[in-house]
Amino acid sequence: MNLKHNVWFFTDGFDKKTCNNIIKNIKKFESKKGKVGGTDNQTELNKKTRDSNVRWVQDPDIYEKINYFVNLANKNAGWNFDINWNESIQFTEYKPKQYYNWHTDQWDAPYVDHVFPQYNNKIRKISCSVLLNDPQSYEGGDFEIGFTNKLCNGTVDDTKLKLEKGKILKQGSVIIFPSFVWHRVTPIKKGIRYSLVNWALGPPYV
- The pLDDT value recorded for residue 153 is 42
- The pLDDT value recorded for residue 37 is 59
Whether 1 is in a domain gets the answer: no
| Residue 124 banded pLDDT, cuts 50, 70, 90 | very high
Whether 70 is in a domain gets the answer: yes
Whether 203 is in a domain gets the answer: no
Residues 129-142: what's their mean pLDDT?
96
Whether 165 is in a domain gets the answer: yes
Q: Is the pLDDT reported for residue 28 higher than 50?
A: yes
Whether 143 is in a domain gets the answer: yes
| pLDDT tens figures, 58-98 | 999 999 999 999 999 999 999 999 999 999 999 999 999 99
| Residue 3 banded pLDDT, cuts 50, 70, 90 | confident
**Which residue range(s) make up the domain with 79?**
8-33+50-192
> From start to end of the chain, where are the E strands?
8-10, 32-33, 36-37, 43-44, 50-51, 53-57, 85-86, 89-94, 99-103, 123-131, 139-140, 143-146, 160-162, 174-178, 183-185, 188-190, 193-202
- The pLDDT value recorded for residue 43 is 53
CATH of residue 173: 2.60.120.620
| Residue 35 banded pLDDT, cuts 50, 70, 90 | confident
Task: Count up the domains in the chain and report the number.
Answer: 1
> What is the C-alpha separation between 95 and 140, in angstroms, rounded?
10
Whether 201 is in a domain gets the answer: no
> What is the C-alpha separation between 202 and 19, in angstroms, rounded?
28
Whether 20 is in a domain gets the answer: yes
Residues 133-158: what's their mean pLDDT?
74
Q: Is the pLDDT reported for residue 154 higher than 50?
A: no
Q: What is the pTM of this model?
A: 0.89
